[in-house]
Structure formats: C-alpha cells, structure tokens
A = this chain, B = another copy of it.
C-alpha cells in the first residue's frame, strides 16, 4: 500500500469537519449534562434507551450493543447508576447468566428532568445550525456509515 488515493479537497473538508464536530459536540454535551443534571453522557444514553424499552428494562448486552461503550464500561456505568438509584439489576428468569437493567422511578424522573435542557443544547449546537437538506444528508449518509460499522465486525 505505497500510495493510496489521498483525500481531495472536498473529502478533506468533510472529514475534518466531521472529526472536529464530533469531538466538540461530545465534549459540550458531556459538560452540559453534568452541570445541568449530574449525569454523564453515557448515563443519559442508558436512561433514554431504558425508557424507550418495553417494560423499561433491557439486557446488559442489548444496552452495550446499542452503542455506548464496551461491555466492561457498561458494567461500570450501571453500577454507578445503581448506587445513585437510577436503575436496578434484575436477573433473567430464563437464563441465569442474564441480567436486566431496569429503570427505576427515580431514574425516570431524572430523565424527565434532564431531557429538556439536553434537547435544547442539541438544538443549539447542532440541529438548529443545519439546513433541512443537511439534516437529511446527515441522517442518510451517517446512518449508512453507522450501519456498516455495526454490520461487519473488524
């Protein structure tokens, strides 16, 4: 692989823009959530997923696959959140190994408390900055990117 096709100008701008926005948006989001509700971004994501799940509970593996982080990272976060009373662990009846993470009422309340500020921030830093066309391009293009990265492992 001596000389690959380097990125041309358009590709470079897109790549750099993506990289920078990715880092900056994530940092800002973390900051806002922590200040506003005392949640880390991963924790917020967990709350959202659980709230949307049937029975407000999900298997650990499903949560981990959702996106978040590695399995061990999830174990850590759920432990933290359990200490804070936001979730509860429940072992799976049909599979002794399995563990459900269950959203508690306190967790649900915390989410409702944090959501408005979070959404406002998301609008402010990203959604309201983009044109409808750009939103569609993000959804389609990055959706496909995500799908591929999920699909094939390595």
Contacts and interface: CB of A to CB of B under 8 A. Distances in A.
B17 A139 contact: yes
B141 A129 contact: yes
A15 to B, nearest CB: 6
Contact of A138 (B68, B141, B146): B141
A47 to B, nearest CB: 15
A146 B24 contact: yes
Contacts of A135: 10-11, 13-14
Contacts of A120: 1, 4
Interface in A29-87: 67-68
Copies of the protein in its oligomer: 2
A129 B149 CA distance: 11
Interface of A is mostly: helix
Interface in A127-148: 127, 129-146, 148
Given A21-B145, A142-B17, A146-B20, A137 B126 contact: no
Given A20-B146, A67-B20, A125-B149, A116 B15 contact: no
Given A125-B149, A146-B21, A133 B137 contact: yes
Interface of A: 1-7, 10-11, 13-15, 17-26, 28, 67-68, 116-117, 119-120, 122-123, 125-127, 129-146, 148-150
